[in-house]
Amino acid sequence: MKAYQELSREELLALKQELEKEFEEVKGKGLQLDMSRGKPAKAQLDLSNGMMDVLNSSSDMVCEAGVDCRNYGVLDGIPEARKLLADMSEVPEKNILIYGNSSLSIMFDTVARSMTQGVMGSTPWSKLDKVKFLCPVPGYDRHFAVTEYFGIEMINVPMLPTGPDMDIVEKLVAEDEAIKGIWCVPKYQNPTGISFSDETVRRFAHLKPAAKDFRIFWDNAYSIHHLYDDDQDVILELLTECEKAGNPDMVYKFISTSKVSFPGSGIAALAASEANLAEAKKYMFYQTIGHDKLNQLRHVRFFKDINGMREHMKKHAQILRPKFETVISVLENELGGLGIGSWSKPKGGYFISFDAMEGCAKAIVAKAKEAGLIMTGAGATFPYGKDPKDSNIRIAPSFPTPEELAVAAQIFVLSVKLISVEKLLEK
Number of residues lying near a copy of itself (CB under 8 A): 55
With CB under 8 A as the contact rule, which of the stretches 20-28, 47-55, 202-210, 417-425 interacts with a copy of itself? 47-55
Residue from 95, 102, 190, 192 in contact with a copy of itself (CB under 8 A) = 102
294 in Cβ contact with 69 (< 8 Å): yes
Residue from 26, 85, 98, 112 in contact with a copy of itself (CB under 8 A) = 112
Does position 56 interact with a copy of itself (CB under 8 A)? The reply is yes
Does position 397 interact with a copy of itself (CB under 8 A)? The reply is no
CB of 305 to a copy of itself, least distance (A): 21
With CB under 8 A as the contact rule, which of the stretches 53-61, 335-343, 361-369, 385-393 interacts with a copy of itself? 53-61
386 vs 364, 366, 375, CA distance in Å? Answer: 16, 16, 16
Residue from 97, 104, 352, 395 in contact with a copy of itself (CB under 8 A) = 104
Residues 6+ apart with CB under 8 A from 93: 79, 82, 83, 86
- Residue in 349, 348, 405, 346 with CA at minimum distance from that of residue 375: 405
- Residue 422: which region, alpha, beta or left (left: phi > 0; alpha: psi -120 to 50)? alpha
Residues 6+ apart with CB under 8 A from 315: 47
**Nearer Cβ to a copy of itself (71/342):** 71
Residue from 127, 171, 208, 212 in contact with a copy of itself (CB under 8 A) = 127
Read out DSSP for 258-319?
Answer: TTTS-TTSS-EEEE--HHHHHHHHHHHHHH-S---HHHHHHHHHHH-SHHHHHHHHHHHHHH
Does position 68 interact with a copy of itself (CB under 8 A)? The reply is yes
Q: Cα separation of 248 and 50, whole Å? A: 39
CB of 297 to a copy of itself, least distance (A): 10
DSSP 8-state secondary structure symbol assigned to residue 393: E
Does position 53 interact with a copy of itself (CB under 8 A)? The reply is yes
Q: Cα separation of 381 and 136, whole Å? A: 10
Residue from 139, 290, 341, 383 in contact with a copy of itself (CB under 8 A) = 290
Q: Which of residues 18-37 bind a copy of itself (CB under 8 A)?
A: 37
With CB under 8 A as the contact rule, which of the stretches 110-118, 245-253, 313-321, 380-388 interacts with a copy of itself? 110-118
Q: Which of residues 145-184 bind a copy of itself (CB under 8 A)?
A: 145-146, 149-150
Give the CA dihedral 241, 154, 191, 189, nearest 10 degrees: 0
Does position 59 interact with a copy of itself (CB under 8 A)? The reply is yes
Does position 265 interact with a copy of itself (CB under 8 A)? The reply is yes
CA atoms within 13 A on the CB side of 97: 26
Does position 262 interact with a copy of itself (CB under 8 A)? The reply is yes
Q: Which residues bind a copy of itself (CB under 8 A)?
A: 37, 39-40, 42, 45, 48-50, 52-53, 55-59, 68-73, 100-102, 104-105, 108-109, 112, 115-117, 124, 126-127, 142, 145-146, 149-150, 258, 262-265, 286-295
